[in-house]
Copies of this chain bind each other. A is one copy, B any other.
Amino acid sequence: MDVTAEDGTARTGTVHTARGSYPVPTFMPVGTKGAVKALDSADLDTLGADVVLANTYHLMLRPGADVVAALGGLHRFTGWEGHTLTDSGGFQVHSLGPAVDDDGVTFTSVYDGLRIRLTPESAVEAQGLIGADIQMVLDVCASLPAEPAALRVAVDRTASWAARARIHHNQFEGRPEHQALFGIVQGGTDPDLRQESARRTVEVGFDGYGIGGLSVGEPRSAMLEALAATVPELPVGLPRYLMGVGDPIGMLEAVALGVDQFDCVAPTRMARHGTILTTEGRINLRNSVHVRDDSPLDARCGCSTCARWSRGYLRHLLSVREPTAWRLLSIHNLAQLLHLMQRARTAIAEQRLSGLRAEVAAVW
């Protein structure tokens, strides 16, 4: 990536890929099963999203990585010509409490109860077939709080699996030729382990670095401490991706520490439950105060939802469970986060990120 401006440890710039380039910092909407829930890829065009995630765990089970490949790969499958990234499936698998051994993980499919085996190599192959622009290595994510011994095993396995994934990605011919591979740093909230994990991951050598296992319930200060220990170990010229963070403050704090990209399902999940992000803070659209409110969700928002529909209408659709509400509210919440990252890029370029952080902190 080209770093075009820095503001303290924060930076802005452009990540280059075989597909083209995308600006950072950026928020990446999550299309879990091949679509951001209730949205389509034309909506993502309109929103101006740069990178969209898909979940390997779900796609390898339904419709199957081979089916995605047969249908032309993730971009053609979803009709999305922007950038794509697939996670390794590791996070979903670990949340199911699978059997983990040195070689890989064994878990039960939520779809049909079949026992499935995932290894660093098979995760590379599934993601190779799915064919996103960027794939992530299979990592081991310890649940926090974790015993030191558990964290140690997670860090060691993550490092060993990273090396195996790197080798297999180089060899596997069933992937797009220029597909990028990102490593993942683990280590819980222990700064020393984070530093060690970062060093060992960088030693393997990747096209970018995920920072995993954070924002899983620990205090924000612990997350930021772990981040502060990790980021200086990562190469300046490669993107840094903090996995699973999507709240405005958390993102800006991480941007300040040098993080470039984020993903999170929370903004769209919150939208479907009526929790709406605005430039003046969070509102609960289910609150009856909005019943006769003809104003938009956020008068300062430029999204297609705010241009056309009122709080009163959207609240009505939400309360009678119309799927239309899920889509229109998700579009709005995503627009808020995409716009926040745009503001962060400008603020960094103009050396005023701390002003933006203060402004956002004042309303959240």
Q: Which residues of A contact B (CB under 8 A)?
A: 33-42, 58, 62-63, 67, 70-72, 76-79, 291-292, 294, 304, 308-310, 312-313, 315-317, 319-320, 322-324, 326-328
Given contacts A291-B63, A319-B62, A322-B35, contact A41 B72 (CB under 8 A): no
Contact B77 A317 (CB under 8 A): no
- Bound complex: CA A36 to CA B319 (Å): 15
Contacts of A312 in B (CB 8 A): 63, 67, 70-71, 77
Least Cβ–Cβ distance between A29 and chain B, in angstroms: 13
A322 and B37 form a contact (CB under 8 A): yes
Contact in complex: A38, B294 (CB < 8 Å): no
Given A77-B310, A310-B77, the answer on whether A42 and B317 have CB atoms closer than 8 Å is: no
- Nearest B residue to A64, CB-CB: B291
Tell me how far the C-beta of A271 lies from the nearest C-beta in chain B, rounded to whole angstroms: 12
User: Is there contact, CB below 8 Å, between A317 and B79?
Assistant: no
* Subset of 9 A-B contacts with CB under 8 Å: A36-B324, A37-B322, A38-B323, A39-B324, A62-B316, A63-B291, A63-B319, A67-B292, A77-B312
- Please, how many angstroms separate the alpha-carbon atoms of A323 and B327 in the complex? 9
Of B40, B72, B309, B326, the residue contacting A79 (CB under 8 A) is B309
Q: Smallest CB–CB gap between A11 and chain B, Å? A: 35
Which residues of chain B come closer than 8 Å to A326, judged between CB atoms? 323
Closest chain B residue to A293, Cβ basis: B71
CB neighbours (8 Å) of A76 from chain B are 294, 310
Shortest beta-carbon distance from A208 to chain B in Å: 28
**How many Å lie between the Cα of A58 and that of B77 in the bound state?**
38
| A33 neighbours in B (Cβ, 8 Å) | 316-317, 320, 322
Given A34-B317, A313-B78, decide whether A40 and B324 contact each other with a Cβ distance below 8 A. yes
Q: In the assembly, what is the distance between CA of A41 and CA of B79, in Å?
A: 23
**Given contacts A38-B322, A63-B312, could you give 8 more A-B pairs where the C-beta distance is less than 8 Å?**
A33-B322, A34-B316, A36-B324, A41-B308, A70-B292, A72-B294, A77-B310, A323-B327
Q: Among B39, B72, B291, which residue has its beta carbon within 8 angstroms of that of A67?
A: B291
A40 and B316 form a contact (CB under 8 A): no
Chain B residue at minimal CB-CB distance from A61 = B320
Q: Known contacts being A37-B323, A294-B72, A324-B39, is A308 close to B67, with CB within 8 Å?
A: no
Q: A34-B313, A316-B34, A319-B62 in contact; A327/B67 too (CB < 8 A)?
A: no
CB nearest to A38 among chain B residues = B323
Residues of B near A35 (CB, < 8 A) are 317, 322, 324
